[in-house]
Chains A and B, each alone.
Chain A
């Protein structure tokens, strides 16, 4: 029992630390990639190649003056960014970060907990994330913040629907809600992207909208909303909001890789490597490779596409993505029926 607890504790701390470090260096990567896509060099002063830039940013954020507006609701004002950060960190729990390590006669799956409704948990936590933004925007007692928060929450709620529908088609195909089972099913090249291309497209568009990133970064808008929901925030509370976005991006990339790109499965490698422990570790490495590609993809898109107008955003969500997702469900059903008949 104690060994079990210690192993889980180590896993929790590791996942937490990795999320934070990856998110930290995502801020660096974002600036570097943005710069490279624009023919610039990006931060290169703090340490070699600017590698210490995130630390410098963090120190800067901590040192800034902390301002809580007098007219704000103090407790909710503090709760907002905490909630955003909290929910961002919570999602890493159900993601299978790798295969199973076997030490002695004990099995150690590299996943904090494998709840059998992992996907529902994921969607649930993501929807709580809206509250962080909503509460923060409302508690600021500022028109810009409130409008930004309304925009953010309506956007996130709209796209959650399409996202849920895209996942329903995936669940119909896999027949399970457990992320570990879904990942385990996609051995070799049986990645879900092959069976659910439309679903993947819908899912990734929604993932962009859920993380509030370009081209769906409407909640922040200098011309109309100043900073959006975090207009009134300063110091590390602002840092939390910004940081939560990067953790969300990390988690989204992990979820995309797990749901549609085979998770920790590697095609071909199983033929050459037979030690299950080595395979498990390699699997984690492979998962992270996919994940980093998707983080890069997030940034690549951000620095390529212009943003939507708000009505276009809503039209895309309600009039295109949701019907498309419904069609995808119907299509999946028909194909499954026909496939069943063929076997």
Chain B
């Protein structure tokens, strides 16, 4: 026997009472009627929304810093981390006078996420060293055209006057995990150390 929950099937003749079926039918109807008065499981969606977990992984946001400059430095780590290969970007160099727009000297002039490829795993968020990309509790809306699912910077970068709150995802433990130099993934290797490794 493979499990202790299996039951031996016996083909036994039904008794007359069972063959009349009426008691069984009445019992069944009693059960369904009791459900008639039970609380309904339906959530009336557009009016009532089920609460999302604060760390729900929905549509991405590219953050700006306090001064309003984009945090992303087009390092490409998110694209490398992405198992679905949903992220593409083109890097550019920051010109003079653009310091208020881009936080680092290099920035992403094009940054696209294909929402049809994305599996919302959140690995891009884990990979980002600049705290630039986060997943939020917004749902990617459906559209009729494939092209509309490729989200560019116009949709991804948060608006200066309409910041997206990600404080729930950026707890102390998360920050520590990302920045603590004791963890191997945050360590910067010297050239000598690298040579030893290989």
- Taking beta carbons and an 8 Å cutoff, which residues of A are in contact with B? 33, 35-41, 44, 300-301, 303-305
Closest to B27 in A: A304
Closest to B22 in A: A201
Our pick among A35, A39, A40, A304 for the contact of B29 (Cβ within 8 Å) is A304
Closest to B38 in A: A39
Closest to A38 in B: B35
Our pick among B25, B31, B40, B44 for the contact of A36 (Cβ within 8 Å) is B40
Given known pairs A39-B38, A305-B25, the reply for A300 and B44 (CB within 8 Å) is no
Closest to A201 in B: B22
**Is B33 an interface residue when CB atoms closer than 8 A count as contact?**
yes
A38 to B44, CA, bound (A): 16
Whether the pair B32, A304 counts as a contact (CB closer than 8 A) is: yes
Whether the pair A36, B41 counts as a contact (CB closer than 8 A) is: no
Our pick among B25, B33, B35, B44 for the contact of A39 (Cβ within 8 Å) is B35
Closest to A40 in B: B42
20 A-B pairs with CB atoms under 8 Å apart are: A36-B36, A36-B40, A37-B36, A38-B35, A39-B35, A39-B38, A39-B40, A39-B42, A40-B40, A40-B42, A41-B40, A41-B42, A300-B29, A300-B32, A301-B25, A303-B32, A304-B25, A304-B29, A305-B25, A305-B28
- Taking beta carbons and an 8 Å cutoff, which residues of B are in contact with A? 25, 28-29, 31-33, 35-36, 38-42, 44
A41 to B25, CA, bound (A): 25
Query: Which of A39, A44, A304, A305 is packed against the most chain B CB atoms within 10 Å?
Result: A304
Within the complex, what minimum Cβ distance (angstroms) separates B118 from chain A? 31
Whether the pair B28, A304 counts as a contact (CB closer than 8 A) is: yes
* Besides the known contacts A33-B36, A300-B29, 8 further A-B residue pairs in the complex with CB atoms under 8 A apart: A36-B36, A36-B40, A37-B36, A39-B35, A39-B39, A40-B40, A41-B44, A303-B32
A301 to B31, CA, bound (A): 12
Contacts of B40 in A (CB 8 A): 35-36, 39-41
Whether the pair B35, A37 counts as a contact (CB closer than 8 A) is: yes
A36 to B32, CA, bound (A): 9
A39 to B41, CA, bound (A): 6
Contacts of B33 in A (CB 8 A): 37, 300
A32 to B99, CA, bound (A): 62
Within the complex, what minimum Cβ distance (angstroms) separates B112 from chain A? 37
A261 to B150, CA, bound (A): 66
Within the complex, what minimum Cβ distance (angstroms) separates B129 from chain A? 48
Closest to B36 in A: A36
Within the complex, what minimum Cβ distance (angstroms) separates B83 from chain A? 37
Our pick among A37, A40, A44 for the contact of B32 (Cβ within 8 Å) is A37
Closest to B30 in A: A304
Closest to A306 in B: B28
